[in-house]
Amino acid sequence: MDFCLSAPAEMKNQTDEFTDDGSRPKVDLENLVLHGDVAVTNTFFKNADPCTARGCKWPKSGRYVNVPYQISSEFSQQEKNIILRGMQSFHQTTCIRFVPKRSDQRDYINFFSQRNGGCWSYIGRQRGGQYISLERRGCVHHSTVQHEILHALGFHHEQVRSDRDRYVRILFNNIQQRQRGNFKKVQTNNLVTPYDFTSVMHYGKYDFSSNGRPTIEAKSNPNQKFGNVRQMSANDITRVNRLYECSTSRRQYRY
């Protein structure tokens, strides 16, 4: 499993930042610290176990994990439907249930868009309302929605997991200097699942390249494709079910 990077951020994460209709004041992007598509806070930890211990998992009630959400009114109905479909895909195969936010709920996800805001999320549950950024231009796609939701559930990128050196080679000399932190290995709890090139959480071969050359190579097969999938893999689903101790049997993942 894949969890947390570490860096300070000065952006507040409080419920009163959001209005009832899901709109919000503009996010101060200059003071928001991003590692790729991961927003980080000054309480960030570097591996899965402290993340779990400090309560970044969403609480379970009975058989299900209810995650309150709201969607900004900035999105068109078609875009809202894509976001809803992304959430519903978790309902089909896991015990995660996304439920519309009530006024008395302080911990929830706010899907929003801001010009030049990009696609990003925090890792795991944050105290108070938290953002998932899906810029309308380029981010509102099914796989991207799933990817950012997985971050919010507590997962990080596949290529930073603790055993990645057995499977991939990170070519740091080809990576943009400011983005090299995105590729640092994390000491993770992988939930007894294999390294997965088909994970929706895997970077692409040329992501953050400074010179047009690959930033990641598969060790076993130089022609291995990764980083361009359309949906969660079976391993992505298994990890959610294991992390959240879902008792529901996994059904075949279909669209």
Helix (H) or strand (E) holding 166: none
Question: How many angstroms separate the CA atoms of 75 and 200, rounded?
Answer: 23
Q: Which of 74, 148, 158, 217 is catalytic?
A: 148
151 labelled ligand-binding:
yes
Helix (H) or strand (E) holding 90: helix 77-93
Do residues 156 and 205 make contact, with C-beta atoms less than 8 angstroms apart?
Answer: no
CB atoms within 10 A of CB 64: 17
DSSP helix/strand/coil, 201: coil
74 is catalytic: no
Q: Which residues contact 207 (CB under 8 A, 6 or more apart)?
A: 215, 216, 227
User: Is residue 159 exposed (0-12), middle (13-18) or buried (19+ Cβ within 10 Å)?
Assistant: buried
Do residues 119 and 135 make contact, with C-beta atoms less than 8 angstroms apart?
Answer: yes
157 labelled ligand-binding:
yes
Listed in sequence order, the DSSP H helices in 111-179 are 142-153
DSSP helix/strand/coil, 134: strand
Question: How many angstroms separate the CA atoms of 92 and 57, rounded?
Answer: 20
DSSP helix/strand/coil, 121: strand
Annotated binding site: 147, 151, 157
- Which residues form the catalytic set? 148
Annotated binding site for Zn(2+): 147, 151, 157
